[in-house]
Structure 1
Amino acid sequence: MSDLLSTLYPWMKAFHVMAVMSWMAGLFYLPRLYVYHAERGSGPGEPGESLAVMEAKLLHLIMGPASVATWVAGLILVMTPGIVDWSMIWPWTKAAGVIAMTLFHHWLMIQRRRIASGKGLSGRHYRMMNEVPTLLMVVIVLSVIVKF
């Protein structure tokens, strides 16, 4: 099994990076759509209906599959012998960042339901939350590249 994981390592790493890029694109863009929805799409009709369709498709067709692919490929990478030294701090900070990213994703799903029911937050609040993925990305990338 370890020979197979070692052979697949570069492919899993490439797949993981592509999945992360797709997931992050959605995590950066969805809160921005929520800002537009809160500020310009609160009434019936357009643009609220178009924004709701865009939000749903982004969440379910891009972000959902990309997050699952990120997790699966990441776990396969972690299981590859000799890749992760668990005595160092970086794998733990990366793991905490990825878990926080996943929790943020779920928060975005909850917010979509709240917006649909007319109980969404203000555009200012969503604008501030739009910075969360950037902060988490900094922690994750520094953890993996610098290995502090």
Structure 2
Amino acid sequence: MPADQQPLEPLTANEEAFVRELSRVMLALPRAVDADITREAQLPLSEYTPLMHLSEAPGRAMRMNELAAACSLSLSGMTRVVIRLEKQGWVERTKSEQDKRGWNAVLTESGLARLERAWPAFLCSVRRHLVDHFDGHDLPPLTAALQQVATAPAGRG
């Protein structure tokens, strides 16, 4: 063990229970939301999510690598999704104006309309599977804690 690290301390029973339940949620929640919006809106979560991020971006455009990071996908995985969205007329790929090497994904009017049609199914699903379970809890500190976890540098102990 490196000298600058503290000795390992086992998780308490409460910490262990928290980690295990969070692991279950991380797997079950996306599956449940995907099943709901695919059934109700015929749009899988893998396509809804990039449309959502693009709709919120300035000019409804993002560099492909930024969109991939926002969607927690590799650049090649995001490229495959964007090609599917492009074939449906919901997204266009354009050369980056900044360096002419990179590509941007741009949400089309048709893509925005598709997102707006799917949004009620997404909203109902995330409320039912997640938000409603936290009724009465103080969400801002929970949100802040999740943001800390999500933005911690990789490999940080």
Q: Structure 1 length as normaliser, TM-score?
A: 0.30
Q: Looking at CA atoms only, which structure, 1 or 2, has the larger radius of gyration?
A: 2
Q: Which has the higher strand share?
A: 2
Q: Which has the higher helix share?
A: 1
Which structure exhibits the higher relative contact order, with contacts defined as CA atoms closer than 8 Å and separated by 6 or more residues?
Answer: 1
Q: Structure 2 length as normaliser, TM-score?
A: 0.29
